[in-house]
Amino acid sequence: MNCKRIVIALAMLCIAANIAFSQPAFYFLNLNTSARTAALGGAAVSLPEDGSAIFINPAILSTVDDPRLSATFLNHVLDINSGLVTFSSTNESIGHYAVSALYTSNGSFQGADAKGVKTTTFSGNELALSGTYSHALDSNFFYGATLKFIYSGLEQTSSTAIAVDAGLLYQMPKSRVNIGFSLLNIGAQLSKYVTEGESLPIDVRLGVNHRLRGLPLLVNFSFHHLADETDGFFDKFANISLGGELTVSKVIDLRLGYDNRIRTAVASSTQRGFSGISAGVGIKTKNILIDYAASSFGSPATLHRFSVNFKL
């Protein structure tokens, strides 16, 4: 493998990521993770052979050889719910491709006038439609990109945007190591809620995983939100995710994860509890994969995700 090609590709992605931004809109894009990814604390930027992980790194799609149809349901706080559907396949002449739809219902809201008198109720909904393409640069080096159209509506106001994800994945089979890098949600609004524009939730991720020798454990480690504004350069690396997947049988995987960003976001130490910690289980059959994850945000909320993958 030509190391110079890797350095050049990483440099191009880093330059694109050097973008300053304010409080982002379309935060629902951060909810498009599968149950397996959530159970691993989000540390999936280098997780191969998982079609659902393309939302963390689109280059992963090149490691999924068989056509798949997957769906994820997220039970959020209050009456907020999200659903994600993805179809992926491959063609020898053009490479790997996938299409997906992410929908979030923010529930209903009680309207009121300037005097506080209740009026009608209204709802908020968000949608992202995307297409992903991935191919090999070399036998163990892959790239991928996703183009997304995004819609967000609240009562009579709405906004649309277009965004791109880009990623790289490098595999070292002899060492049982994978390295991944991705840029997520690089784009701009097409139409605005009001006159002032808002930026998208840009995310830069870098991660590595390793399958231990003699123990059926896959260890995942990643940095995320590396593009966030921080007081110091090294403060960016406080956004760490860790995850472990233990294969206890041919049918069952047990998972445990930790996201330091979630834990530090809970201001009160008395409310932190298990915040940032996630756990889950995966059940594997020949053609169906079923996953569940619970992610704790401290005493205020625990999010539950269910995913199912069909090998077609």
Domains of the chain from N-terminus onward: 3-111+121-311 (2.40.160.60)
What are the CA-CA distances from residue 256 to residues 12, 40, 260, 278 (Å)?
34, 6, 14, 6
Nearest CA among 182, 158, 179, 157 for reference residue 170? 179
User: Is 220 in a helix, a strand, or coil?
Assistant: strand
Mean pLDDT for 143-167 is: 93
Cβ-based burial of 174 (10 A; exposed 0-12, middle 13-18, buried ≥19): exposed
Q: What is the predicted pLDDT for the residue at 156?
A: 77
Q: Return the ∠ at Cα 167 (arms to 165 and 168), rounded to 5°.
A: 170
For the chain, the average pLDDT equals 86
Report the distance separating Cα 85 and Cα 256, nearest Å.
24
- Measure CA 115 to chain center: 42
Q: What is the predicted pLDDT for the residue at 259?
A: 95
Tell me the pLDDT tens digit for each residue of 51-108. Answer: 888 999 999 999 998 999 999 999 877 778 899 999 999 998 899 999 999 999 887 6
Q: How many helices (H) and strands (E) does the chain have?
A: 4, 14
Mean pLDDT for 99-119 is: 78
Q: What is the predicted pLDDT for the residue at 27?
A: 81
Sign of CA dihedral 104, 57, 261, 274: positive
Report the distance separating Cα 151 and Cα 258, nearest Å.
31
User: Is 182 in a helix, a strand, or coil?
Assistant: strand
| Structure-block tokens of residue 157 | 């106001």
pTM above 0.85, yes or no: yes
User: Is 79 in a helix, a strand, or coil?
Assistant: coil
Tell me the pLDDT tens digit for each residue of 1-47. Answer: 555 445 444 544 444 444 333 345 788 888 768 999 999 999 999 99
Sign of CA dihedral 61, 63, 66, 71: negative
